[in-house]
Chains A and B, each alone.
Chain A
Amino acid sequence: MLTPVVDKKIFLLDAFALIYRAYFAFAKNPRVNSKGQNTSAAFGFTNAMIDIIQKEKPTHMAVVFDAPGGATNRMEDFAAYKANREEMPEDIRSMLEPIKEIIKAFHIPMLMLEGYEADDIIGTLAKMAEKEGFQTYMMTPDKDFGQLVSENIFIYKPGRGKDPASIMGVKEVCEKFEVNDPLQVIDVLGMWGDAVDNIPGIPGVGEKTAKKFIQQYGSMEELFKNTADLKGKMKENVENFQEQGLLSKMLATIIVDVPVPFDPIDLRLDEPDKEAVLKIFTELEFRNLAKRITGEEIIVTAAGNNVDGQLDLFGQQSLVVNQEPMTTAELKTIATENPSYHLVNTPEERSKLLDLLLQQTQVCFDTETTSLDALHADLVGIAFSWKEREGYYVAIPKEFVEAKKIVDFFEPFFSSKTIEKIAHNIKYDIQVLNRYQTKVSEPTFDTMIAHYLIQPESKQSMDFLAEYYLRYQPVSIEALIGKKGKNQGNMGDLKPEEIVDYACEDADITFQLKQIFEPEIQNLI
C-alpha cells in the first residue's frame, strides 16, 4: 500500500484517461471473449480499479467521466481545443456501457456534468474534500493535475509495466515542473502548450524555456511585464503571442468551482453487489477477476454465439478451462495471472505434497535461503512447481536439526532417478542441500545453462528471461527485502506467508521456461 492509512481517504478516478490507457495497453494482443467482443478496455480499467480498492483501501471513491460535449468554457473560447482528438475507437465505445455497469455493481458513484471535463469535476471535488478533512488521491496519468496538488491532495500515477505506481505531492510536482508552487504549473503549461489537447502555448517556448521563465518571473503575467529582458525571436514571439499565451493558460487551468455537490455518504466505498458483479463478469468472461472478487467460479457458455455458428446439440453449458488472457503489450504479473500458490506448513500437508511429487515426471524446485554464499546459506524454504500457475512452498524452520528433518522427509523426491528435477542455476541449490546431507540425483535440468547454450551472450537472470520469453514480470526480491545494499533485509527474517507467492512464482516461471528451452536445445544438437 502506497498511501497512508487514514480515516478519510478518497480516490477520484479519471475514467477516460484510465479506459484509454487500458485499451492501448492491450492494443497489440487484445483480449477477446467467445462472443468476439474486444473486452480489453473494460478488463484493463476494471483491473486497475480493483487493484486500487484492494491495495490502497480507500474509504471513499468516485469515477469521473468527461461530458460528451466537452468543456463549454474552453470550447467557446478556443474552438480548436482538443480538436485534434481522433474519434473514439469502436472497441472503447462498445465497452462504455459494460464499464458503467461494473462501476455500478461495485456501488461506486459515477460523476459527470454537462459542459465540464472530468478534470474540472475532480479538481472541484478534491478541493471540497480537502476542506472536509480528506486525503484525496487523483488517479490519472495526466500531468495537468499537478496544479491541484496540496498538502492533502495528491496525484496517484498508476504503474506501467516495470514502473510501479507512484504518488506525487507538492514536493514531487514542484520538482518535476521546477516551480515553487503547484499553481505555477498552469503558467508553465500555458507557455509550453500541449499538443495532445491542442493548447497552443507560445511559439518557440518549449518545456525548458517555460520552466526557466517561471523560475525567473514567477508567472506568465510577470514575464509579459519584463519582455525588455528578452532578445531576438524569443522577444518577438512572447510579445506577439501574449493573448494566445493567456488563452492557453486559461485552457490549462482546471476549474475548481463546478456546481457539483460533495456528499461524503454517497461517495463512501461500500461492499460490491456480488450478484451484479458476477453477472457482468460472466457476460464479459472475466473468469479470474470474478474469482478474485467473489471467490466464485463463473460458468461461461461457449456455445450459442459462436463465430462459425455451430450450436452444441444439447445446448450444454461447458466450463471453459482455458480462458487465458493472451499475451499483452504490458507485462503479465502475479496480479493478472491469479495462480494457485500454496503454503505447506504441517506434516499432513507435507505428506500430501510428497505423494504428489512422486507421481510426477518433471518437477521444478527452488530454494529460498539466507545468503548467496551456498556454502554457508541456511534454508528458509523450498518451492515446487510442476504445472503452470501452480506452486507449493514448504516452509523450513531456522533451527538446523528441525530443518534437516524436513529436508530429509523430501529425500525420496530428490534422490529419485525417474523424476527430472529442474532449477535455475541448480548448482547453487544442490550445494545448499548438500549442507543438509541431501543429494540431488540425475536426471536434472538447469534452465540457466540451457539458455546459455541457446544464447551465450545474453543476460541469464530469471527475471530477465521471464520478461523476455513469458512476457511476465515476477515479484521482485526487492519488494520483499528491500533494495540491494547494506540495508537490504534477509529472507530469514520474513514469515512464510510473506514468501509463498514470491517463491512459488520462481518455481512456476522456471518450470514454464524449461518447457520453452528444452525443444530449443534439441534443435541445437
Chain B
Amino acid sequence: MEMPLVEILRSMEFEGVAIDVEGLTNYSKELELTLVDLEKQIKSFVDFDFNVDSPKQLGDVLFDHLKISAKAKKTKTGQYATSEDILVKHEKDHEIIPMILDYRQLRKLKSTYVDPLPTLCDAVDGRIHTSYMQTVTATGRLSSNSPNLQNIPIRSARGKEIRKMFIPRNEDFKLLAADYSQIELRIIAALSDDKNMIEAFQKGYDIHAATAAKVFHVPLEEVSRDQRSSAKAVNFGIIYGQGAFGLAQNLGISRTIAKGIIDGYFEQYASIKTYMDKAVNDARENGYVETIMKRRRYLPDITSANAVVRGFAERNAINAPIQGSAADIIKLAMVAVHEAMKNTELKSKMILQVHDELVFDVHKDEIDELKALVKTAMEGAIKMVVPMEVEMEIGENWLDAH
C-alpha cells in the first residue's frame, strides 16, 4: 500500500493548494494591532517598560514585582519558569495571566503560520506545495512540512482563521473535506471485538452518548451534557492509555470519581480491557505490536526497569496499533480514491491529507459525482466489523468545509 501512495503523494505535492494571500496579509495586520494593544495592557500593570517576549523579564515581572506566587518555579538557568502550563495554573490569580497567554498564542500563530504562509507560495503558480513525508512518524501516519499541516490550530477561534485562508483554485471550484468520524474508536471496537461498542456503531448511535448511557446507567435519551462530556473524555483517554489521574485532571473532578467512571466503563466494555492487557502482553512477548495491515512498532522499553519509561511503552502498546491502523486506513482510502478518480474525466483533484481527513479541490459541476465517489471509496477502503463513517462538507474555504 505504501508504494502506490508514492505516486499519489507526488501528484498532490505537484498540485499544491491555493491560499488567500490578501486575506493573510490583512489578518497579519489585524493580529499585529491586537498584539500591540495586548502588549500595552500587559505593561500597564507595572510602571516600567519591559520586553514581554523575554521569558526572563516576564518572569521577573510576574514573580518579583507582581508577586503572583510565593513559590515560583525556576528553570535550569535560574530564571523564573513562565511556560504555558505554569501560566495556566495561575490563570485565576491575576488578570495579567490570561492576557499573556493570549499574547503568546497570537504571536505564535502569526510567526508560525500567518506570516510565513505567503512566502511559501510558488513563484510560478502562486500555490503552496506542501511536502509529504512517508517515513517519518513512528505510528505510520503521514507528516507534512512547508507548511506543517498537522499543527495548524483547529480549536481556537483565531486558529480557525488560518484554515479559512486555504481556498479553491478559482471561482469554478470549491473545497471538499471528507473526514473519518471517530476512526480510532471504531478501530478499538473492532480490534477488541467488543459487542457493546460494535453494536452502538452499527446502530448509528452517538457513541459518546451511548457510552454515557451505559456507564451512568441512564437511558440514551436522558444522557446529560456533562455525562456525555465525561464519557467522551474517557473514550478518547482510553485510546491513549490514560488512567484515573489523567482523566481527573482533564475533567476537573476528583480522582476517586474518575476511577469510578473508568471502572464503570470497563464493566460495560469488558473486551476493551482485555484488548488492552493483551496488547501489553504481546509487546512483551514479541517486542512489537502490529496494526491491521501488519505495520510494526517496536517497543523495547516495555521491559524497562524504570517504571516511567515502561509505562510510556505500555501506553504505546495500546495506542500504536490504533493510530497505526488509522494511518493504514487513510492510506488505503487515498489509494482507493485515486484509483476511482483515475477512471473518470474529473477535473477535481485530491490536494491535502491531514489528521483523519482528505481535502479536494472540486469543480462546481462535479460536486455530487465526487462526493459519491469519495464516500464509497473511503467507507469501503477496508472491511471491518465496525462500519466506517465519512462526513463530508463543501465550502468556499477549508474552514467552511468542516
Contact = CB atoms under 8 A, between A and B. Distances in A.
Do A and B make up one complex?
Answer: yes
Interface of A: 374-375, 425-427, 430-431, 434, 442, 444-446, 448-449, 451-453, 455-457, 460, 524-525
For the complex of A and B, the 3 pairs showing the least CB-CB separation, nearest first, are: A452-B135, A427-B6, A449-B2
Interface stretch (B9-17, B49-57, B152-160, B264-272): B9-17
Interface of B: 2-3, 6-7, 9-10, 13-14, 122, 129, 134-135, 137-138, 140, 294-298
A426 B9 CA distance: 11
A453 B2 contact: yes
B6 A426 contact: yes
B6 A455 contact: no
A375 B122 contact: yes
B297 A456 contact: yes
B6 A444 contact: yes
Nearest to B123: A376
A430 to B, nearest CB: 5
A455 B135 contact: no
Contacts of A431: 10, 13-14
A449 B298 contact: no
Contact of B296 (A427, A449, A451, A456): A456
Contacts, number: 56
A375 B129 contact: yes
B294 A427 contact: no
A448 B298 CA distance: 18
Given A446-B2, A452-B134, A524-B296, 16 more contacts: A375-B13, A375-B129, A425-B135, A427-B6, A427-B10, A434-B10, A434-B14, A444-B6, A446-B6, A449-B134, A449-B135, A453-B295, A456-B297, A456-B298, A457-B138, A460-B135
B11 to A, nearest CB: 9
A446 B7 CA distance: 12
Given A456-B140, A456-B297, A444 B135 contact: no
B14 A427 contact: no
Contact of A430 (B6, B134, B140): B6
Contacts of A524: 294, 296
A312 B2 CA distance: 52
Nearest to B300: A457
B265 to A, nearest CB: 31
B7 A430 contact: yes
A444 B321 CA distance: 27
22 contacts: A375-B13, A426-B6, A427-B10, A427-B134, A431-B10, A431-B13, A431-B14, A434-B10, A444-B6, A446-B2, A446-B6, A448-B135, A449-B2, A449-B6, A449-B135, A451-B135, A455-B298, A456-B137, A456-B138, A457-B298, A524-B296, A525-B294
A453 B10 CA distance: 19
A446 B3 contact: yes
Contacts of A456: 135, 137-138, 140, 295-298
Contacts of B14: 375, 431, 434
